[in-house]
Amino acid sequence: MKLFPLHLIPNDTRIDFMRWRWLSVGFIAVLMAASIGMIATKGFNYALDFTGGTSVELLFEKPADVDAVRERLEAAGYPGAQVQTMGTASDLMIRLQPKEGGSDAEAINRTAADVLAAASTPDNAATIKGRSYVGPQVGQDLAKKGIYAIAFVVVGFLIYIAFRFEWKFAVSAIITTLGDVVIVAGWFSLAGREFDLTLLAGLLTVMGFSINDTIVVFDRVRENFRSMRAEPLEVLNTSINQTLSRTIITSFVAFLTVLALYIYGGGSLEGMSEAMMIGIVIGTASSILVACPLLTLGFLRVTKQDLLPKARDEEALARRP
């Protein structure tokens, strides 16, 4: 028994998505090209995770306000300082670029003293628990590992989808997913937001969300290709409409969750949550407007012969129009 009706999208929608497939695919392609151009020309504002810098750990007498500490450091001439708790609210790890540069002991001690003076307040004094210098080589290693992580995810998606569905579905899904990631990354390049490890985690999450939405639609496409007596365009349209309500509701709930993280998670999680919010919107749109339309274009055009098992269902295939 239904406790209350929840129908954001009617179950019997008959929207002709395939009619606008050239427009939707072209629009996303333009966004991808613009994002790639932005990344190639402007690049990213890499954070200390990738560029290196000084790390100072402070122990406060009482729990400290992370955002307030970050604001005091910015006022003291350390913009973009990364401040995060280390187990308790009284133990903070601060990473920043030193004002005068240098990686020797004297420069590190001087930076640590400045950080201590800026972060402490009369009613909540702090002491230096540790200090160190993170060289750019560590940042380069992290960047390489980030690239390896993205490549590993892409290859894994290709193998999984090709095994579960068909290679045309795999290529279409990867193009759609990479397009979502490129657009989100292009936005951060345009905005000049710091690109750190949390933002990289957000981009990987966008890939997972996007591929999940696409697989749900593709699963319905496969079922309908085997059960419906209709042309491919009609099958694809029907599949999108049948999964439309589920896609919208799932994305809406996920967006609200990430929005709460963006509002209440503090500055250290803003980049990741912003990437996820934008990715949810773009990923939802691409799973509806791009993934299936790609299956009607060029070498990715899908047919019933692609989806019906060749050996087991030859007789059933012969009986179908």
Q: What is the mean pLDDT of each run of 10 residues along the chain (321 residues)?
A: 53 79 90 92 79 83 86 84 80 81 72 86 86 68 75 79 78 88 91 82 85 86 81 87 87 91 79 90 90 86 67 49 49
Q: What is the pTM of this model?
A: 0.75
Give dist(CA 103, CA 89) in Å, integer: 28
Q: What is the DSSP letter of 168?
A: H
Structure confidence at residue 103 (pLDDT): 60
Name the residue among 105, 316, 28 with its Cα closest to residue 113. Answer: 105
How big is the CA angle at 107 (ends 101 and 112), to the nearest 5 degrees? 105
Q: Which residues does 16 contact at the CB level (< 8 Å), separation at least 6? A: 237
| Inter-helix orientation angle 232-264/270-289, to 10° | 170
DSSP string, 173-204: HHHHHHHHHHHHHHHHHHHT-EE-HHHHHHHH
Structure confidence at residue 34 (pLDDT): 94
Set out the domains of the chain in order of their start, with CATH numbers: 17-43+139-319 (1.20.1640.10), 53-134 (3.30.70.3400)
Residue 291 and residue 169 in contact, taking contact as beta carbons nearer than 8 Å: no
Give dist(CA 61, CA 174) in Å, integer: 51
